[in-house]
Structure 1
Amino acid sequence: MNFRQLHLGPGLLKIANVWDAGSAVLVQGLGVPALATTSAGLAWALGYADGNQMPIDEHAAAIRRIARVARVPLSADSEAGYSDDPAVVADNILRLAEAGAAGINLEDGSGAPVLLCRKIEAIKAAAARAGVDVFVNARCDVWLKRLAAGREAEETLQRARQYAAAGADGLFAAGVTAVADIQALVAGQPLPLNVMARPALPGLAELQRLGVRRISAGSAIAEAAWGRAQRAAAGFLAEGACDALFDGAAPYPEINGALNAANAPQG
């Protein structure tokens, strides 16, 4: 099943976001139907802060490394496309597609919705000329950026309809958690709805009942890995080879075996 079809059901598409080839192999080994990157985790792994800081050359190279071991469709979080010029954004997205991305996330941030519309239109036109199918998941940051206090759902719906008209394939309402807001977003606009893991978000069964099509971990797994590594390193520096250093660690043969399998010829 291709990446676009995975948004049409049945079931809820669960995206445990990855940030490099190793994390992709780990998540893929759990039997997922698709992979997607976290821009934050990928930026951190390359030594950059999140927030449109990555050079497109490095981002495309990272996607190519992940695609090399991917056995399922891969989507790339392209932040805001690394430019305000729609033509440059379209070129950047085609580079990610050429590297192996079947889909992208593209965010509006604090910018005007019309700018994201122009970027989506440019991407779709460039992809059509190149004969490439790219699933564009329009990320609306109204909740994350606190852009419309008390009327977040209304503002997101207005933007979603504009993004759909521009050619977006999905709506990522990052930060929404309330059941009433989720219901409004499912009912009030035509795109499959993607939500992001948050402590107050309803459980998977409830999200599926509400009509959500996709849930993403965002940067949460990368943050958890950072925290675990930080604690392990701090414990080692304080106490040496203490029991805590090995607590919960995956065995070396398991990790190495998974990477050997991922690099084996496909027959």
Structure 2
Amino acid sequence: MTSSADRNQLFHALHRPGPLVLPNAWDVASALIVESAGAKAVATTSGAVAWSLGAADGDKLDRDRAIDLVARIAKAVKIPVTADIESGFGKDAAEVGETMRAISEAGASGVNIEDGHGPALRDVQEQVDRLAAAHEAAPDLYLHARIDVYLRGIGEPEDRVRITLERAQAYVEAGASGIFVPGVTDLDTIKQLSEGIDVPLGVLAGPGAPAVGELAGAGAARISIGTAIAEAAYALTRKAAVELLTSGTYSSVEENISYGELNALFN
């Protein structure tokens, strides 16, 4: 097994030139499936991680439970793991630094930290302080700084590129390795952002978004899918349950990964 330092170095390198494509996982089984499908790294999704552990997304999950899950995933797979840690599981910069040290010890090679806070965004300087503390606590980890301008519809549409670029510059100066801008899939906008940001740009894809090749062509260096896979898995759970309880049939679960194949992933 490669060392943590080797995995961290590899994870950084996967972003240049990219694209690094990340089908998001939320537990050990889904991480092993993602790895077996050929992914070069595993990314957790905070929403599905929280749901699987009985909490809502949005800083509702206990930090220790989130870190424990990351440790389990990092131990199970052979490829780098990047953890979505929401806003850092801390009320201030010092606590975000504590989270980063724990995440590093858990075996992660990178993190996402968002600047969304409630319905708005954190003050730029406050977020800079949180990112700087994160970088100082674990300088070898890939620090993917998320900017929620598009996701939350902040400002007038014509101002969002400017607002995003201003935040991106401040976050990079604070130690961010890359910038993540979910909520934007317009290729022209991605091109503007990628040209204006000096570090790799990450975007969130999913149904209705351009294909990976198109997003990469516009300048996206990292493409993830967030909660989409988990949502589809839970949709199948509901569909199969309704079918079983109403018609008493089982067609919803005819296409599956067999018990033996799933069980073998853990060996």
Tell me the TM-score normalized by structure 1. 0.91
Alpha-carbon shift at residue 70 of structure 1 (Å)? 1.1
Matches of 2:54 and 2:138 in 1, distance apart? 30
1:111 maps to 2:107: no
Choose which of 75, 100, 112 in structure 1 pairs with 2:107. Answer: 100
What is the one-letter code of the residue matched to 2:135? Answer: K
**Between the two proteins, what is the percent identity of the paired residues?**
38
1:50 maps to 2:57: yes
1:122 corresponds to which residue? 133
Alpha-carbon shift at residue 200 of structure 1 (Å)? 4.0
Matches of 1:58 and 1:127 in 2, distance apart? 20
Matches of 2:250 and 2:96 in 1, distance apart? 49
Matches of 2:67 and 2:254 in 1, distance apart? 35
What is the one-letter code of the residue matched to 1:61? Answer: D
Q: What 5-or-longer segments of structure 2 have no aligned partner?
A: 1-8
Alpha-carbon shift at residue 123 of structure 1 (Å)? 1.4
SS at structure 2 position matched to 1:174: coil
1:191 corresponds to which residue? 199
Moved over 4 A (4+): none
Deviates more, 1:183-192 or 1:144-153: 144-153
Matches of 1:153 and 1:70 in 2, distance apart? 37
Which string of whole-angstrom CA distances, capped at 9 and with x for unpartnered residues, describes residues 88-137 of structure 1? 01101211111111100000002112222111111122225xxxx11100
Matches of 1:69 and 1:206 in 2, distance apart? 33
1:27 corresponds to which residue? 34
Choose which of 218, 223, 228 in structure 2 pairs with 1:220. Answer: 228
What is the one-letter code of the residue matched to 2:144? Answer: N
Asked if 2 retains the 8 angstrom alpha-carbon contact of 1:73 and 1:101, the reply is: yes
Matches of 2:126 and 2:214 in 1, distance apart? 34
Matches of 1:189 and 1:64 in 2, distance apart? 32
Asked if 2 retains the 8 angstrom alpha-carbon contact of 1:24 and 1:35, the reply is: yes
Aligned length: 254
Q: What 5-or-longer segments of structure 1 have no aligned partner?
A: 261-267
Matches of 1:17 and 1:33 in 2, distance apart? 12
Matches of 2:48 and 2:101 in 1, distance apart? 21
Q: How does 1:146-165 map to 2 (within 5 A)?
A: 146-150=153-157, 151-165=159-173
Asked if 2 retains the 8 angstrom alpha-carbon contact of 1:195 and 1:215, the reply is: yes
Matches of 1:239 and 1:254 in 2, distance apart? 29
Asked if 2 retains the 8 angstrom alpha-carbon contact of 1:78 and 1:93, the reply is: no
1:5 maps to 2:13: yes
RMSD of aligned alpha carbons: 1.3
